[in-house]
Structure 1
Amino acid sequence: MKYLLLILPFTIALSCNSVKKNMNSKDSITKIVTTCPEDGICSFKTTSNKSFKILKDEFNSTYPSIKDGDNLLLEFQYERNKIPNVADSGYIEQVFIELNTNDIPENLVDENLQNVKLSFARLCFCRGQTGYYKITEGNLNIEKINDKIFNLNLEFTCNEVPQVITKINETFTIEY
């Protein structure tokens, strides 16, 4: 029993190491700076050479189109923990930002947020309150720390649907 109690802290410490994911050299996962709600998991990902667009289907529902392109796509995701034994309890919020790495804006406000195709997604079993939306109200500040490292600070509101995430503060790296 004493042996088990001695090994347990060591095992827990090892299991807390970050998980390495298979990625190509153009993708990068950064450390989460944003305070994530305690009832879920947050992630932040950058993907090079992509473009983002919101499209509508024949039922007027919105969906994303992510294709090869010339820009950097930033994606923040909050996924609420599923409720055990409850069907359709999944809930995800995503924020997409498409940046031209040759012309990264320092500060954008309200309607100018569409200069970087800033979009919000709410994905859940919430009739009439799910989909992808352009963000036109808020403030995006991107500060250059050095040639490759940037700090993103975003405060926004999506008037079309309720939201949990209203602020994002992330530090990310661009590999040229």
Structure 2
Amino acid sequence: MKQYIRNTRMFFIVVMISILISGCSTIKKEVAFKNDTTSIQINNDSCPNNGDCAIAIKKGSYSIETDTTGAMYPLFTEGEGELVEFTYAVPAKEGIADGDYKETIMFQVPKGLKGIMVLKDASLSKLKLLLNKQCFCRGQAGYHLITQGRLAIKRNAKNEISFDLNYQIDGIDIIVSNIKL
């Protein structure tokens, strides 16, 4: 009986190590995708004083998928295209578990954009404008499609992108509702 218990434990350990090793391949792909990123300084007006903000323009694109529970999430693909990602983060106070707070806004830059494009309300879905709210806040956390607001996006002659985004989501409390670059 003792031998059986030892063999069962050993089998369980081998299975767990195999799962951990096989999970690393997806991490490597994500890191490779994130290496192709341009970080940008942002206007202090877009970032509340109690948090840290960052904007990145990444190469690639994403589609919006739905899991078996009905929750949406982005599925990133490498290749052509550009996407903008703004992140506002407040780290947890020392000694508080699950106290981090993060809002990430992302959208795809329209292919071939030259000059200015202004989108309002339902037309924002053309850019797959998403909010990812990460916090310990029931009913609020997760990905949410943004369909209320206004986005003015511009590509200048030097191929640089700037934008002004104002948005809201019914039923979701947000801290950052205006982002300018």
TM-score by length of 2: 0.73
Aligned-partner residue type, residue 44 of structure 1:
I
Q: How far apart, in 1, do the equivalents of 2:128 and 2:101 lie?
A: 23
**Structure having the larger proportion of residues in helix:** 2
Q: How far apart, in 1, do the equivalents of 2:72 and 2:44 lie?
A: 27
Q: How far apart, in 1, do the equivalents of 2:44 and 2:65 lie?
A: 28
Q: Does 1:57 align with 2:72?
A: no
Q: How far apart, in 2, do the equivalents of 1:31 and 1:143 lie?
A: 17
Question: Which residue in 2 is equivalent to 1:103?
Answer: 113
Report SS of the residue matched to 1:86: coil
Question: Which residue in 2 is equivalent to 1:68?
Answer: 78
Unaligned runs of 5+ in 1: 1-22, 171-176
Kindly indicate whether the alpha-carbon contact (under 8 Å) linking 2:151 and 2:165 is maintained by their aligned counterparts in 1.
yes
- Post-superposition offset of 1:67: 1.4
Question: Which residue in 2 is equivalent to 1:156?
Answer: 167
Kindly indicate whether the alpha-carbon contact (under 8 Å) linking 1:122 and 1:132 is maintained by their aligned counterparts in 2.
yes
Kindly indicate whether the alpha-carbon contact (under 8 Å) linking 1:108 and 1:141 is maintained by their aligned counterparts in 2.
yes
- Post-superposition offset of 1:33: 1.4
Distance 1:98 1:168, change over 3 A: same
| 1:8-87 alignment runs, 5 A limit | 24=35, 26-35=36-45, 36-48=47-59, 50-87=60-97
- Post-superposition offset of 1:143: 2.7
**How many equivalent pairs are there?**
146
Unaligned runs of 5+ in 2: 1-33
Question: Which residue in 1 is equivalent to 2:27?
Answer: none
Which structure has more relative contact order (CA 8 Å, sep 6+)? It is 1
Distance 1:159 1:39, change over 3 A: same
List structure 1 runs of 4+ shifted beyond 3 angstroms. Answer: none
RMSD of equivalent CA atoms: 1.8
- Post-superposition offset of 1:66: 1.3
- Post-superposition offset of 1:114: 1.1
Q: How far apart, in 1, do the equivalents of 2:77 and 2:44 lie?
A: 27
Report SS of the residue matched to 2:126: helix
Kindly indicate whether the alpha-carbon contact (under 8 Å) linking 1:106 and 1:141 is maintained by their aligned counterparts in 2.
yes
TM-score by length of 1: 0.75
Question: Which residue in 2 is equivalent to 1:7?
Answer: none
Identity value in percent: 27
